[in-house]
Amino acid sequence: MPSRSALRSATLTAAVLAWPVGFVTRAAWGLPTALGAHRRRLRPVVAGSPHFSDGTFHNTLETPALAPANTRDGLLRQWHDERYVGLPGGPIPLATTDFPAEAAELAVTWLGHASALLEIDGQRVLLDPVWGYRVSPSPVFGPTRLHPAPVPLEDLPQVDAVLISHDHYDHLDLPTVRELLRTQSAPFVVPLGIGQHLRKWHVPEDRIVELDWDGEHTVGGLTFICTEARHFSGRYFYRNTTLWASWAIAGPRHRVFFGGDTGYTPAFAGIGARLGPFDLTLLPIGAYNDAWHAIHMDPEEAVRAHGDLGGRVLLPIHWATFNLAFHRWAEPVQRLLAAAGRVRAQIVVPLPGQRIDVLDPPELDDWWTAVDSSTDRPEHRRDAGVGSAVLSRTFSRILALLPD
């Protein structure tokens, strides 16, 4: 019969081994569903696109899939040493919005990151809705919110369409899609291939509209034109098996451009010439870094794109909500305003949750400087939005093993 000390030792060993097993189980919970459709299911849907060849979609301009070796070394260092830089220095203020019973001629409510509720010519469009706490396939790992969602999803008015730019987790969120299935009846208008993700998540066929670049679809009085972007796609192992896009939204009286997530491309000038001018552009200004300049615009490029598109009012998106890069939290909007001032571009910077009348935009109210960034503030070095330092070290080691 085992001794008491042997039993205690065995119990302790079992407990020690159980922790990592339980942690891994929790981290992987729901992973196959969250990853979306397998590429075998995608191929029949996407293979006919002129932008699809050799098993993947391609940008019009050459766009590196991985950072060059010399920049990758810098990324490894940044994951370890600079992951706190993008944290805010204090709480991010939120606005409370009372939505009107009828949609306006032209108004927009920024909901954080790339999510927004657009009102155009009496209809409502929900853009890249992400209400999840963590933009990741795992409930344990991945960037977490820096501020709560400013509006409960169930409190949104009924919308006429849900527009998606691409399938990255910070733009296509499974928990949000599931809630929209319960609370809304609008179709999802998406780039080619993303419909297969939605079908896997039990979105009805009559609520899925898939378009290639230059494809169009009309809902009520609005026409949605799928336009070129310079980016990439993928929810884990396989990249570029679904299409990424920007969108032109054309109503009887007004036009809006939604950039989603994109690097700068000369295609914006062509889009502006064909489909513009635009009363409002929503353009990404955050998550920039030298290593991925081809796929993420910096603030100066966003101002340039706004001009190419013939934009009147620019609302910056893709900043403030998730810590996805290594710049200071407030830097994107500060650089944006400096660049806009040089060309006299009209900018609106709402609080998350604030509704803006685009036809009568408010004066700029600097709310971001008081929030600032947490660089040099060790007391704010909580979870850097990646889930844990363990994740960053693991990811760094994986990157180091990738071929140059």
> Per-residue pLDDT tens for 279-316?
999 999 999 988 889 999 999 999 999 999 999 999 99
Looking at residues 245-267, what average pLDDT do you find?
98
Alpha helices in 39-173 (DSSP H): 39-46, 69-81
Q: Are 167 and 234 in contact (CB under 8 A)?
A: yes
Q: Which two tokens stand for residue 329?
A: 């939290």
Mean pLDDT value across residues 99-116:
98
Does 25 score more than 80 pLDDT?
A: no
Residue with tokens 């190419």, as numbered in its chain: 308
Which residue, among 258, 32, 280, has the nearest Cα to 164 in the 3D structure? 258
In this predicted structure, what is the pLDDT of residue 5? 62
pLDDT, residue 404, reads 37
* 142 confidence band (pLDDT: 50, 70, 90): confident
Residue ranges of E strands in 103-232:
106-110, 116-120, 123-127, 161-163, 188-191, 208-211, 216-219, 222-227
Q: How much is the average pLDDT of 157-169? A: 98
Beta bridge partners of 52: 57
Give residue-wise pLDDT tens across range 200-239: 999 999 999 999 999 999 999 999 999 999 999 999 778 9
171: pLDDT strictly greater than 70: yes
Q: From CA 120, how far away is CA 263, in angstroms rounded?
A: 26
Phi, psi of 151 (to 5 degrees): -135, 125
Please give the average per-residue pLDDT across 50-58, as a whole number.
96
Percent of the chain topping pLDDT 70: 80
d(CA 178, CA 182): 7
Mean pLDDT (the chain) is 86
Angle at 27 between CA 26 and CA 33, to 5 degrees: 95
In this predicted structure, what is the pLDDT of residue 85? 83
76-99 pLDDT per residue, tens: 544 555 667 889 999 999 999 999
- The full length of the chain comes to 404
In the predicted structure, residue 27 carries a pLDDT above the cut 70: no
Contacts of 96 (CB under 8 A, 6+ apart): 150, 353
Highest mean pLDDT among 9-23, 28-42, 288-302: 288-302
Assess whether pLDDT exceeds 50 at residue 370.
yes
Higher pLDDT, 355 or 8: 355
% of the chain surpassing 90 pLDDT: 71
Residue 147 pLDDT more than 80? yes
- The pLDDT of residue 236 is 77
Distance CA 303, CA 338 (A): 10
Between vectors from CA 371 to CA 365 and to CA 373, what angle results, nearest 5°? 130
β-strand pairing of 188-191 with 123-127: unpaired
